Structure 1
């Protein structure tokens, strides 16, 4: 399970925008303005399940999930954070972190499969990415 052979799944590449490289994961923003939604993708080739990671990598994934969640909550206050690692369509291991608010487009159901994504407007996407990066940088420092 080498990082050298890692390649982001084409669907994840198409549906998300790059935020940052964390020690284990590539952090990406789902391009769906209906929900503040981050995706963590461990840079390990051939990994489909959290259990496929070494124990130390599993612990690192959860540290990074908590870091992503804190950044998300700081820029998009929410009523509930949803975490999910489904992998039924995209097999490459990726962990969703979704900020939910009562009354959002899918509330109280899951965001997966709830209507068509609404891509961010260019300025809104740039602002969201910038806010996330600034928060992550402040937390690292």
Structure 2
């Protein structure tokens, strides 16, 4: 299997890190610290993953959740696998704050959108990389995010 990231995810996100079995993406919306974990699998539903793949995805979700909680103002973490618009298996981990423009409602399809400046994306990536180093989380490669077209 050759892994191919869904074009919607590729267009809407910055790639923060990659491992042999997944990608960590940052949704390009400054209003919400929102990281998407994309397992490199052909399966589109969580229950179709092997037990080992499910456990690995939960571990990644825990890593990203802890990172978001430590580095962003956050009253609640939202973790979801929806996939109505993008059927490729992916897991959303979103740091929500009582001060965000959608609180307490959902963030799906919101009109509140503001792209990240590239320097802020790089700063988030560096913090994530440092977090992984401190926690001795290995196997992830951090490469410079690609500039998004305006």
Query: TM-score scaled to structure 1, two decimals?
Result: 0.90
Q: Give the 3 Å change call, closer, same or farther, for CA 64–133 of structure 1 in structure 2.
A: same
Are 2:114 and 1:113 aligned?
no
Could you tell me how far apart the structure 2 residues matched to 1:89 and 1:33 are?
A: 21
Alignment-derived partner of residue 41 in structure 2? 44
Give deviations 1:28-54, integer Å, cap 9, x for gaps. 111110000000000112x21111111
Are 2:118 and 1:133 aligned?
no
Tell me, which stretches of 5 or more residues in structure 1 are unaligned? none
Tell me, which stretches of 5 or more residues in structure 2 are unaligned? 138-150
Q: Is the partner of 2:14 in helix, strand or coil?
A: strand
The answer to which of 92-101 and 116-125 deviates more is: 116-125
The answer to which of 52-61 and 111-120 deviates more is: 111-120
Are 2:83 and 1:92 aligned?
no
How many residues are paired up?
Answer: 137
- Greater percentage in helix: 1
Could you tell me how far apart the structure 1 residues matched to 2:106 and 2:75 are?
A: 14
RMSD of aligned residue pairs (Cα, Å): 1.4
The answer to which of 15-24 and 111-120 deviates more is: 15-24
